[in-house]
Amino acid sequence: MTSARAPRGTVTRARVVDAASRLIAAEGYENVTMRGLASELGVAPMSLYRHVASKDDLLDEVVDRLLSERWRPRSRESNWRRWMTEAADNLRALLVEQPAALHVFLSHPVVSPAALERMEAMMRVLRRVLGDDGQVIDAWAAVQMYTIGFAALEASREQRPDVGVPSSEVAGMLAGFATPHQFSVGLRYLLDGIEP
Amino acid sequence: MTSARAPRGTVTRARVVDAASRLIAAEGYENVTMRGLASELGVAPMSLYRHVASKDDLLDEVVDRLLSERWRPRSRESNWRRWMTEAADNLRALLVEQPAALHVFLSHPVVSPAALERMEAMMRVLRRVLGDDGQVIDAWAAVQMYTIGFAALEASREQRPDVGVPSSEVAGMLAGFATPHQFSVGLRYLLDGIEP
DNA sequence: CCTTGATTGCGTACTTGTACGCTAGAAGTG
DNA sequence: CACTTCTAGCGTACAAGTACGCAATCAAGG
C-alpha cells in the first residue's frame, strides 16, 4: 500500500510548481485539481497548502514561467511599432492558448518577475519614441489593457448558437471579431494614436 | 414548519431573475449563492434549475437588465467622440461596480438584447464618421476590447503588497494604472487612431 | 538521551455548483 | 371518474477548493 505519511521534504514549493506545470501541459488547465496534483506528488491534498497559499498563488508562479519563455519579440527594438506589436501579440497568443494564464491576468495585475521584465522592456522602447515618461506609462497601459481584453474575448469564443434576436447582420459579425487579425487591426489604431 | 412541496408555479424564470437581481443588489454578487437564492424564493436549490440552465445563464439575464439601464450616453450623437467616450465609460463603470457584470463579460461574448442595442447604436455613430462598414466593425471591436480589458484590471486592483522585486519605480506606477482617468487617456489614443 | 518547540504532512469537514433520477400532482384522454 | 402522461419541485450525491486543528517528526537545549 502507499499509505503512511510522506517523509518530510517530499513537498516543496518548487516541486509543486513543477508538477503543476507538467500537469497543466499534459492534461490542460481545466483538468488540473489540487487533489490530482497532490496525488501526482504522492501526498495528501492539504499538504500542498503548506507551500502555496492557494491554487491561484500556485498558478501565478506557473504562469510566470510560461510568460518568461514566450513574451520576447524576435524583431529588433529599432522598429518600435513592429517590436511593440510582437510583444503584444505574444502575450495575446499566450493568454489564448493557456487558459491558466488568462485566468491569472484577469484575476489581478500581474507583477511577477517576467511580467515586470516585459513591462520594463516595453517602456524602454516607448520612452525612445515618446520621451515624456507620463506618456510612456499611458501608452503602455493602453496597449496592455487592449491586449488582455482582446485575449479574454478571443479565448471565450465558443459559439453561442442562437440569440433570439434576428439581427443577423450583427450576429454574423460577432463571429469574426476575435481573431488574431482583428487584434492587429485594433492595435494599429492604438499605435497610430500613440505615435507622436 | 416550512417543509412540504412548494406549489407549482412558485418558481418562474422571471421570478428567479428578479430575486437574483434583488439579492445581488442587497448582498453583493459574491455573497449570492444558488442555495441562498432558492431559500429566498422558498424552494429547494435544485428547483431553480428547471428555469435557468446554470448560474451563469441566470447572471446573463441579470446583467442584461443592468446594462440596459446604464449604457446610454447623455450627450448627443453629433459629437461622436464625446458620445463614444461616454458609451465606453458607462460600460467600464458598470463592469467595475458590478462584479457580476464583469464576470459575464469575461466569460463569453455578450449578445443579450441590451448589448446588441448598444452595439448597434455605437456602430451607427461610427458609420457616420468612418463610412466604410469594415472600418466600423474594426473600430467598434477595438474600443470594446479595450473597455473590457481595462475594467477587468481596474476591478481586480486590490493591492498586492510586496512583489519581492525592488523596482519601486515600476511598482509605484502600477498603483496608478487602473483609474478612470487612465481609461480616458488610453481611449483618446484609440479614438485618435480611429479618426480618419 | 530526554524535553520542548517548531515545522509539516494530513484527516475531517464545510461550502458551492450542479448531475441524476424520483415523484407528486396537474392536464389531457376515454 | 379512472387512467395515462407530462412536468416541475426536490432529495441525494459528488467534485473541487480549502479552513481548522491534530499529530508525527525534526531541531535545539540541557
Q: Which DSSP string corresponds to A91-141? A: HHHHHHH-HHHHHHHHHS---SHHHHHHHHHHHHHHHHHH--HHHHHHHHH
Task: Tell me which residues from 12 to 71 on chain A have a beta carbon below 7 angstroms from nucleic acid strand D.
Answer: 32-36, 45-46, 49, 54-56
Nearest to A153 among B148, B182, B192 (CB): B148
pTM of the model: 0.93
> Residue A107: CA atoms inside 13 Å, Cβ hemisphere, count?
14
Query: Average pLDDT of A80-89?
Result: 98
The amino acid present at A25, given as its one-letter code, is A
| Percent of chain A topping pLDDT 70 | 89
Nearest CA in chain B to A155: B108
How far is Cα A138 from Cα A92, in angstroms, rounded to an integer? 19
pLDDT of residue A132: 87
**Contact residues, B window 110-149, toward A, CB-based 8 Å cutoff:** 111, 113, 116, 119-120, 137-139, 141-142, 144-149
**Contact residues, B window 68-87, toward A, CB-based 8 Å cutoff:** none
Work out the pLDDT band at A128, boundaries 50, 70, 90: very high
Instruction: Quickly give B41 CA vs D1 C1' distance in Å.
Output: 36
- pLDDT, tens only, A24-52: 999 999 999 999 999 999 999 999 999 99
Task: Tell me the nearest-neighbour CA distance from A172 into chain B, angstroms.
Answer: 11
Segments of chain B scoring below 70 in pLDDT: 1-3, 158-175
B34 touches strand C (CB under 7 A): yes
- pLDDT, tens only, B94-106: 999 999 999 999 9
pLDDT of residue B172: 57
